[in-house]
């Protein structure tokens, strides 16, 4: 973990604004990161924050959720059942390019004499605004202003507005608006960046052959539409742009259209002081195979419809949508503007990653980059769906329906893996497993339980049981079947149900037996399947009967699931008082993390997997994640001991880690550490803490930020659908305010040092618990619950690896009370981050 000991952002460049990310200086060396954090998107369409002029940046990218190319995975050494179909998100034609020439001199921000510069994305506007003043080589000053919007209300729509004003001299102004197929022109990345690229398995594959086959070119007037079909996956896309010029200057226009380029050029005889404004209305339509011609027609309709509105109307609509979003989703931290800004930026990213995914999943990088190939992982279910289920249930349901749509492929995959039921792919776009490294891929069977967990959470949060009845129950049944078949009763007669040869969330320990997380989650999965089947049988016998027929469900199966779940092996080490991460974990050698220098992090880029796997060392929370998701299954003492043991071994090399560590640190009382983890998650992308923000936003971490606030400091748990609060507000936080929509009612939760207050903002009312007490919150009046304390507060930092090593050498046990405060990192974390 990178420990945040002071404000990690350069505030000269990024001044604090509670409602916006603002950049006031152009940093040519840091564009990859900036392009990501200034990306705009709506969950369907994403445009990286590339400079409008489309030159001299780092990674030019425009992505459409799920629009991918396939390729045969060629394994260096083949084996039966290895993933076969590679899937990679395509960098779709870039329609946002607007090149500018003044007196034939090109405007390239990185090389230009910039007198004034600002870039800003306002979280309430959802618009990226750039404003700058350029002194041309011949000394003329030009004001250039652009706005870029990807619409939340019309997912196919984007608008770019580009304004040029000669400030003190006339000039010949040429504005060349383009649609550019960078994917096949090899023009995605700045040469310097490509050269610097070294081995990193987290990046997307690049293609050797043409990806987008030109299928259609249309140009009429100021409108252009290009259509393509991907070579292998057969997906189709059309991209259109309509232009409008507003100026009092004289001008001419011309056009050009080719397979990989459409260009509309305005040549303007600009007089000083006369503003030139180009409005470019953009649309993308995609499909799995509808002919490009039909998609082009859809583009025309979208453009026609958009043109019926003035551009300002579109911008207003965007603001209205965001007003509603923030009403549902805002988390307030009064008095901490730096944190407030970062919190809102993270939540805004959640909107941009999920709002209009519609029939698709939520990719690891949303639509902001090609990292992880645009694939969907368990990130969606475990890190993003809690936020969605409690703030945007409709979006949550879509994400779950997307998984439901993958069931057939998951059934086939289970068969291929010699198992009954369904096995969801570890990483995929089209439903087929595309993880080429099974040890940290296919072996993560827990994805089945993760999906079930999210489904159950959604149903409990929304009360939408009808969703199960209409077919989502199939997910429960097929995953339960998988677990019942995968696990086994050991022949030594220990009467336990074991699950061998799987990988848990921690990818630094793979293919193990009885992974604690997996077993605990599988048990919950089995129990949920039985309970939901039984409830459906009673409440909706018709739906139940249809399901039984559809799935061939037999009664003995439910009994088998209960038996397996009840007897599930839950590894526990009585000596240390902790739950081993897996059956063999505690026998491994301890990795000496304290002596592993920064230059060797993350471990995965510096050590062979075999080396890493041989040690007790974690990439990310594993047992600790179980303590969060299945908290009711562990005692407070177990939680503390487990947390302290595993925390010392956790590298946090995955951004999925810190948010979870933060939540459990808060629960068990390691309040300083909880804050420290929270901070390093909060700034993962804004401060590029993992050095790969250029590849896209870490969407799971942004979801984790919401969970850290609501479940970590807010202390919210929803085990078995019961909403309980045990707040853990940091000492120097006066107040934390967040919203949750529970069964259709929106409640505002205000956590303060002495109390927690529930106020209904919408709907009838909700039932909540604080500690062991139950409260009915009605629309009529807020409920204020006094808090006697905020849980334990442990002042000694948890042990380090050296402590574990030392202590284990002595007597094999971990006695945290005696741990000396030797870690500078850990004692430094309390430095405040204040504006």
Catalytic residue set? 507
Phi, psi (rounded to 5 degrees) for 223: -115, 140
Closest distance to its own copies from the beta carbon of 30 (Å):
26
Give the total residue count for the chain.
835
Specify the residue, 514 or 667, whose C-beta has the smaller distance to its own copies: 514
CB closer to its own copies out of 129 and 447? 447
Residues sharing a CB contact under 8 Å with residue 431, sequence separation 6 or more, in sequence order = 405, 406, 408, 409, 410, 425
* 68 neighbors 229 (Cβ within 8 angstroms): no
Contact 380, 361 (CB under 8 A): yes
User: Rounded to 5 degrees, what are φ and ψ at 596?
Assistant: -90, 115
Interacting residue ranges for its own copies, rule: CB under 8 A: 73-83, 86, 199, 201, 416-418, 435-439, 441-443, 488, 490-493, 498, 500-501, 511, 513, 583-584, 586-590, 604-611, 613-614, 805, 808-809, 812
Minimum distance of its own copies from residue 584's CB (angstroms): 6
**In sequence order, which ranges of 285-336 are alpha helices (DSSP H)?**
292-307, 311-329
Nearer to its own copies, 114 or 563 (CB): 563
**In whole angstroms, what is the distance from residue 225 CA to residue 283 CA?**
9
Task: Compare residues 75 and 470 and give the one whose CB is closer to its own copies.
Answer: 75
Burial of 239 (0-12, 13-18, 19+ CB in 10 A): buried
Please report how close the Cβ of residue 581 comes to its own copies at its closest, in angstroms. 14
Helix (H, G, I), strand (E, B) or coil at 293: helix
Q: Are 162 and 277 in contact (CB under 8 A)?
A: yes
CB of 801 to its own copies, least distance (A): 11
Three-state DSSP string of 329-358: HCEECCCCHHHHHHHHHHHHHHHHHHCCCC
- Shortest distance (Å) from residue 514 CB to its own copies: 9
Q: Quick one: which H or E segment has residue 46?
A: strand 45-47
**Phi, psi of 43, rounded to the nearest 5 degrees:** 95, -25
d(CA 44, CA 352): 9
534/589 with CB nearer its own copies: 589
Shortest CA distance to 129 belongs to which of 61, 40, 32?
Answer: 40
Least distance (Å) from its own copies to the CB of residue 486? Answer: 8
Rounded to a whole number of angstroms, the minimum distance from the CB of residue 664 to its own copies is 24
- Exposed (0-12), middle (13-18) or buried (19+): which is 594, by Cβ within 10 Å? middle
- Identify which of residues 81 and 541 has a Cβ nearer to its own copies in the complex: 81
Residue pointed to by tokens 């595309």: 434
Measured from the CB atom, the residue of 103 and 205 that comes closer to its own copies is 205
The residues facing 239 across adjacent strands are 226, 284
Q: Distance (Å, rounded) from C-alpha 181 to C-alpha 419?
A: 43
Instruction: Provide the minimum distance between the beta carbon of 512 and its own copies in the complex, in angstroms, as a whole number.
Output: 9
Q: How far is the CB of 654 from its own copies (least distance, A)?
A: 15
Burial 759-781 (b: 16+ CB within 10 A, else e): bbeeeebbebbbeeeebebeeee
- The CA–CA distances, whole Å, from 761 to 340, 394, 602, 711 equal 22, 18, 44, 20
CB atoms under 10 Å from CB of 486, counted, come to 24
Nearer to its own copies, 75 or 550 (CB): 75
**Toward its own copies, which CB reaches closer, 550 or 606?**
606
């Amino acid at each position: 973990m990178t420990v945040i000991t002071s404000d990690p952002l350069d505030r000269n460049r990024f001044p604090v604004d509670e409602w916006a990310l603002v950049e006031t200086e152009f940093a040519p060396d840091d564009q990859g990161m900036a392009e990501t954090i200034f990306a705009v998107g709506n969950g369907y369409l994403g445009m990286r924050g590339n400079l409008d002029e489309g030159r001299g940046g780092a990674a030019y990218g425009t992505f459409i959720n799920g629009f991918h190319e396939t390729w045969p995975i060629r394994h260096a050494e083949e084996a039966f059942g290895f993933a076969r179909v590679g899937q990679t998100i395509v960098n779709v034609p870039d329609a946002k390019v607007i090149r500018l020439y003044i007196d034939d001199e090109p405007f390239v921000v990185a090389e230009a004499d910039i007198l004034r510069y600002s870039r800003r994305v306002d979280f309430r506007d959802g618009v990226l605004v750039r404003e700058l003043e350029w002194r041309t080589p011949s000394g003329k000053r030009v004001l250039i202003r652009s706005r870029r919007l990807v619409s939340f209300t019309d997912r196919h729509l984007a608008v770019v507005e580009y304004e040029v004003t000669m400030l003190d001299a006339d000039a010949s102004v040429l504005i060349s608006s383009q649609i550019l197929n960078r994917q096949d022109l090899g023009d995605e990345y700045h040469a310097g960046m490509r050269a610097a690229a070294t081995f990193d398995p987290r990046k997307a594959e690049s293609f050797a052959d043409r990806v987008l086959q030109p299928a259609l070119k249309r140009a009429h007037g100021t409108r252009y539409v290009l259509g393509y079909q991907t070579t292998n996956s057969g997906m189709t896309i059309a991209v259109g742009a309509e232009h409008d010029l507003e100026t009092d200057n004289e001008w001419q226009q011309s056009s050009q259209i080719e397979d990989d380029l459409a260009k509309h050029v305005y040549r303007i005889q600009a007089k000083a002081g006369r503003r030139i404004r180009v409005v470019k209305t953009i649309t993308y339509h995609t499909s799995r195979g509808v002919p490009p011609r039909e998609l082009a027609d859809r583009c025309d309709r979208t453009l026609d419809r958009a043109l019926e509105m003035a551009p300002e109307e579109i911008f207003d609509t965007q603001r209205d949508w965001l007003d509603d979003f923030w009403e549902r989703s805002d988390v307030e931290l009064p008095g901490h503007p730096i944190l407030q800004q970062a919190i809102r930026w993270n939540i805004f990213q959640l909107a941009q990653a999920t709002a209009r995914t519609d029939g698709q999943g939520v990719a690891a990088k949303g639509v902001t980059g090609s990292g992880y190939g645009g694939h969907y992982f368990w990130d969606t279910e475990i890190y993003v769906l809690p936020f969605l289920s409690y703030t945007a249930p409709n979006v949550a349901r879509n994400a779950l329906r997307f998984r439901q749509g993958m069931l057939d492929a998951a059934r086939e995959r289970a068969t291929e893996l010699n198992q009954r039921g369904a096995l969801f792919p570890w990483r995929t776009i089209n439903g087929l497993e595309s993880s080429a490294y099974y040890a940290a891929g296919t072996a993560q069977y827990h994805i089945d339980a993760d999906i079930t967990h999210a489904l159950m959470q959604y149903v409990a949060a929304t009360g939408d049981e009808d969703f199960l009845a209409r077919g989502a129950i199939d997910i429960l049944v097929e995953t339960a079947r998988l677990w019942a078949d995968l696990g086994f009763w050991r022949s030594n007669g220990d009467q336990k149900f074991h699950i061998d040869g799987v990988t848990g969330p921690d990818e630094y320990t793979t293919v193990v037996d009885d992974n604690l997380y997996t077993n605990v989650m599988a048990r919950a999965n089995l129990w949920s399947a039985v309970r939901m089947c039984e409830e459906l049988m009673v409440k909706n016998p018709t739906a139940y009967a249809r399901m039984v027929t559809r799935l061939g469900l037999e009664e003995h199966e439910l009994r088998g699931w209960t038996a397996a779940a009840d007897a599930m092996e839950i590894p526990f080490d009585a000596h240390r008082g902790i739950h081993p991460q897996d059956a063999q974990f505690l026998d491994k050698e301890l990795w000496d993390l304290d002596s592993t220098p920064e230059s060797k992090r993350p471990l995965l880029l510096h050590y062979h997997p075999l080396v890493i796997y041989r040690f007790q060392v974690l990439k990310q929370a594993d047992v600790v994640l179980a303590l969060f998701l299945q908290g009711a299954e562990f005692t407070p003492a177990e939680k503390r001991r487990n947390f302290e043991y595993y925390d010392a071994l956790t590298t946090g090399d995955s951004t999925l880690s810190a948010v979870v560590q933060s939540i459990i640190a808060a629960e068990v009382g390691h309040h300083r550490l909880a804050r420290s983890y929270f901070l390093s998650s909060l700034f993962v992308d804004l401060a590029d803490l993992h050095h790969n923000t250029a590849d896209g936003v870490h969407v799971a971490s942004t979801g984790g930020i919401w969970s850290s606030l609501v479940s970590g400091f807010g202390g919210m748990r929803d085990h078995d659908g019961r909403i309980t609060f045990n707040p853990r507000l940091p000492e120097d936080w006066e107040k934390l305010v967040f919203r949750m929509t529970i069964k259709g009612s929106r409640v505002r939760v205000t956590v303060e040092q002495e109390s927690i207050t529930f106020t209904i903002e919408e709907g009838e009312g909700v039932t909540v618990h604080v500690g062991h007490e139950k409260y009915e919150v009605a629309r009529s009046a807020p409920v204020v619950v006094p808090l006697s304390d905020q849980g334990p507060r442990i002042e000694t930092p948890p042990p380090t690896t050296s402590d574990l090593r030392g202590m284990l050498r002595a007597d094999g046990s971990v006695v945290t009370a005696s741990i000396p405060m030797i870690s500078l990192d850990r004692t430094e974390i309390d430095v405040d981050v204040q504006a």
